[in-house]
A and B are shown apart, each in its own frame.
Chain A
Amino acid sequence: MVNQESRLNSLITQLILGIWAIAVIFPMLWMIFSSFKTDQELFFSPWAAPKELQWDNFARAWTNAHVGDFFFNTLLVVIPALLLTLIISAMAAYVLARFEFLGNRAVFYLFLAGMLFPVFLALVPLFSLVNNLGLLNTFVGLILVYVAYSLPFTIFFLTGFFKTLPSELEEAAIIDGANEYQVFFRVMLPLAAPGLISMGIFNFLGMWNQYILPLVLVTKEEKYVLSQGLYFMLAKQFYQNDWSALFAALTIIMVPTLIVYIIFQKQIQSGLTTGALKG
């Protein structure tokens, strides 16, 4: 009796979880299938598998619709921005966590204050500032802005992290004759690797998917990053009607994300959830 009941329970559980799994997976599978179809098939046989794999959809998306260019633009912005964010934040966090000096708390709370405001409040002044600096429509402008807006949370997180590190190694290095810079770069930074990896993943996803900042700061098509490039492709579809290429573009964006996610899912999940709840 008890056994039967628990078997029924687990059947219901599997059913519910299975339905949600299908709800999550199905739209993506449909997208991948559709990206191999002709426009004809898209409209008239939505449920059938593609008759022939239309690799040409991907070629059109990559070159004609410039997804390739957007992809490289994104890399050119995100990689330098990410490295700069990590090194600048680590230096500031190290000092804030391990040195006592006048104004230490004040500086820490000043950075914290940045997390309080919504980015929408800064859009107009930021647009005008970046324009005055001559950095509108430049990768440098976008990189500096990405770094600046990633600093508050990254510094907050890494300060906490540096505080937990033991001081014995630091002292041993000083006794061995290392100077302050060597202590940081050779001893403390390697020790902080797990924290840097968490923040690296968190910021990478945030920057890769960043939408509102490039929308405001980049208005020339040849400088578009992926997110806004995709959006303008969609907007154009209304008169160009190349749906299959748009499906292919979506697949190009989503499949690498999926692969990276499956490999690093543990780190990504913990990076994103701690990011959200402490922030």
Chain B
Amino acid sequence: MHRQKYRLIIPFLAPALILYGTFVLYPYIQAMYIAFTSWKGLRKAPRFVGLDNFQKLLSDDHFWNALYHNAIYVITLPILTLGLALFLAFMITQKVRFSSFYRVTFFFPQVMSVVAIGILWSFVYHPSIGILNSFLKLIGIGNPPVWLGDPHTALGAIAAVTVWQAAGFYMVIFMAGMQSIPSSYYEAAALDGAKRGDIFFKITLPLLWETTRSALVFIVINAMNMFGITFTMTIGEAGPDLSTDVLSTLLYREAFTHSRFGYSTAIAMAYFIIVMFLSFVLMRLTRRQTIEF
């Protein structure tokens, strides 16, 4: 039937392969070399320096500072976001009124551009026009923090926005998982007089394990990124005293503000290795027998 199939296969694959090879694969392969060079600006040529960039990295305070902030996000964001998302999903699937209004509303921040969200929230946090502090003053807190302007609160303020944005998204993912749990399980539990908390921890959560695993890996990858929201909410300055700097904003600055192309790519390489390592470890740690139903 497909005697002359190569006359179709080649022209059908060629555009995808050419574009992908040129703009995706080729840069990634080049990056593996650039990370080992000193390259300062487009007009100069990269010079091979071996492991120098990585040695510099290990003694660079800015690198450790950024990585520390990523680590805080990696630990806090999954707990807060997935915890809230699971809770909301469980609530909303209890045959409540207005459930589709809630679902549509909670998901909306995920659709908005991260820049729009970043700007909106930097207004909310703004010390003089912001709605948050005028609310805090209204309820009697005379001296509210300046949030994004204070190194002690800036990182938390950004984390809160991320939770606000992503909770509804993960809620919808969990809801899809919950709907595939047979209702006979719940009916049997209800007959036995189980409480809502018991039903959640003994039926819903174990049967949602596969969904939770994927969500966990996905959110950890995002916690390692955080570029858009950080860059927008701190106007590219990475917060007061670099208090919100993360690896992605650091490597962007190194490349496009300071023209340290080689060093920036070395940071990106470290970033890539850390993400791969974390995903691998998470998948391993959370592996358990899946329950068939």
What is the interface of chain A, defined by CB distance below 8 A to chain B?
A: 9-10, 13-14, 16-17, 20-21, 23-28, 30-31, 34, 42-43, 46-47, 88-89, 91-92, 94-96, 99, 101, 107, 110-111, 113-114, 116-118, 120-129, 131, 144-145, 147-149, 151-152, 155, 171, 174, 180-181, 184, 205, 208-209, 211-212, 215-216, 226-228, 230-231, 234-235, 238, 243, 246-247, 250, 253-254, 257-258, 261-262, 265, 268-269, 272-273, 276-277
Surface stretch bound by A, among B72-80, B88-96, B178-186: B88-96
Asked if B2 and A261 make an inter-chain contact with CB atoms under 8 angstroms apart, the answer reads no
Surface stretch bound by A, among B61-69, B116-124, B143-151: B116-124
What size tier do the contact residues of chain B reach? 35 or more
> Is B291 part of the binding interface, using a Cβ–Cβ cutoff of 8 Å?
no
List residues of chain B with CB within 8 A of the CB of A277: 173, 211, 214-215, 218
List residues of chain B with CB within 8 A of the CB of A89: 16
Asked if B275 and A118 make an inter-chain contact with CB atoms under 8 angstroms apart, the answer reads yes
List residues of chain B with CB within 8 A of the CB of A257: 111-113, 116
**CA of A46 to CA of B136 in the docked complex: distance in angstroms?**
13
Contacts known (A24-B105, A265-B104); A114 close to B25, Cβ less than 8 A: yes
Contacts known (A209-B113, A235-B236); A129 close to B26, Cβ less than 8 A: yes
Contacts known (A14-B97, A180-B8); A147 close to B268, Cβ less than 8 A: no
> Is B36 part of the binding interface, using a Cβ–Cβ cutoff of 8 Å?
no
Chain B, 252-293, CB within 8 A of any chain A CB = 252, 255-256, 261, 264-265, 268-269, 271-272, 275-276
Asked if A88 and B16 make an inter-chain contact with CB atoms under 8 angstroms apart, the answer reads yes
Asked if B5 and A101 make an inter-chain contact with CB atoms under 8 angstroms apart, the answer reads yes
Asked if B94 and A13 make an inter-chain contact with CB atoms under 8 angstroms apart, the answer reads yes
Residue of A nearest to B109 (CB): A24
Asked if A47 and B134 make an inter-chain contact with CB atoms under 8 angstroms apart, the answer reads yes
**CA of A200 to CA of B128 in the docked complex: distance in angstroms?**
42
Q: Taking the nearest CB of chain B, how far is it from the CB of A5, in angstroms?
A: 10
Surface stretch bound by A, among B49-57, B164-172, B198-206: B164-172
List residues of chain B with CB within 8 A of the CB of A174: 1
Apart from the given pairs A21-B106, A31-B123, 11 other A-B contacts in the complex at a CB distance below 8 Å: A17-B96, A17-B102, A24-B108, A95-B13, A117-B28, A118-B275, A123-B251, A209-B114, A211-B228, A230-B113, A257-B111
Asked if A152 and B129 make an inter-chain contact with CB atoms under 8 angstroms apart, the answer reads no
Q: Taking the nearest CB of chain B, how far is it from the CB of A203, in angstroms?
A: 14
**CA of A247 to CA of B228 in the docked complex: distance in angstroms?**
19
Residue of A nearest to B87 (CB): A16
**CA of A111 to CA of B20 in the docked complex: distance in angstroms?**
8
**CA of A257 to CA of B17 in the docked complex: distance in angstroms?**
33
**CA of A265 to CA of B228 in the docked complex: distance in angstroms?**
24
Residue of A nearest to B5 (CB): A99
**CA of A205 to CA of B106 in the docked complex: distance in angstroms?**
17
Asked if B96 and A14 make an inter-chain contact with CB atoms under 8 angstroms apart, the answer reads yes
Q: Taking the nearest CB of chain B, how far is it from the CB of A105, in angstroms?
A: 13
**CA of A131 to CA of B256 in the docked complex: distance in angstroms?**
14
**CA of A110 to CA of B19 in the docked complex: distance in angstroms?**
13
List residues of chain A with CB within 8 A of the CB of B113: 208-209, 211, 226-227, 230, 253, 257
